[in-house]
Structure 1
Amino acid sequence: MDLFNNDQLSLFGASKNLLPFDGEVLFYPHFFKQDVFEQLVNETPWKQDKMKIYGKEVNFPRLTAWYGESDEVYVYSGVVNVPVRFSPLLLDIKQAAERQSGHRFNTALLNYYRDGNDSMGWHSDDETELGGNPVIASVSFGASRVFQFKHKRDKHARVSIALNNGDLLIMQGQTQHHWLHQVPKTSKMQGARINITFRFIG
């Protein structure tokens, strides 16, 4: 499957950094030309994880799935994730993201935002397993959602961008050291969205 937009290859050679300082986030709009949202919805073994808030167990405000090349588990937010093997579709998407970023990825976290009530709170992808300056490729399919950054020390430094179907975002450099990011709830969302974040766990 040719998911990568070869006709526009020359357009994706460079991208302006979305962050003003202390990190690098590169944005490639409409990077994937084929809409695979429904296929991802149907073939992914989604699960409903739970977390504890003030001692009470509540559902994550989204569905998730964890993929990897090996059997190594990944723990975040207190949830133990045992990887599923990459599907042919996810391998195609991963390889296109690898070509653009110049980095290899061996895991993928999929988040399924079913409506505007599903969200992801402020966090950094700074787990030890990801290394000192992780490169993370984020791919969006389905409905548009706002993606936000805020600096950990400078309260006035904020960046917001709408991620649409087929968009690719690459976070690298010092980004995870200095910035938090989130997908906030919204009452304006039309339809559902899937986000895939590819990482390398050493």
Structure 2
Amino acid sequence: MFCTNCGNRIEPGQLFCTSCGTRVAGEVQNTVNYSTPQTHASYGVVRVLTAQKKLSMFNMITCYVVLFNDRLVLAHITPEFQKAESARKSAEIRASGTGFFKGSAEMMRFWSYYHKKYETMSPPAILAECPMNMEIPYNMISQLLFRAYEEGDEDSSSSGGDLNISLSNGNVIKLKHKHDHSKALNNDLQSLLGFRLKYKK
């Protein structure tokens, strides 16, 4: 079990997160799944958002927010997972006989477009990648606050965009992002969340 606020591991019987102090809700697990199971045919990725999740004062990881028709899935890129994926890609590059410079460029492209792989993955496949990954049905979200990214001082804790997911059990998952205001994005979020969306340019 992991804290829905900071991602810290929660031990059995623990009432509060030792990292951020958030109260542990008994029903929150690796996968926050309270909806009726869906068939594969109902899965359809609407959009993938790239965000950052703060685990501690000096520890922030990439987190992809995969928006499906009936739920969102958080895919965390932990250091261990990133290392394993880089090793796998390096092995592919070496096997193809690609030279050092072209291989380095290929690795950069791999991570630049990594989020696109989630456009064709099902929730179960994403959840299987990392224990921290979780799915949240939209009917368990009381509010989703999206504040568009603005250029600013990167060292400021208030800079960048916000993506705060408030759950009906009182927990809030706070993410940062660099997505500019987009009418298309606003429309997508509005169609999925309706009145629960709070969108700020």
Say which structure is richer in helix: 2
The structure, 1 or 2, with the larger RCO (C-alpha pairs under 8 Å, 6+ apart) is 1
TM-score, normalisation: structure 2: 0.26
TM-score, normalisation: structure 1: 0.26
Which protein has the larger Cα radius of gyration, Structure 1 or Structure 2? 2
Say which structure is richer in strand: 1
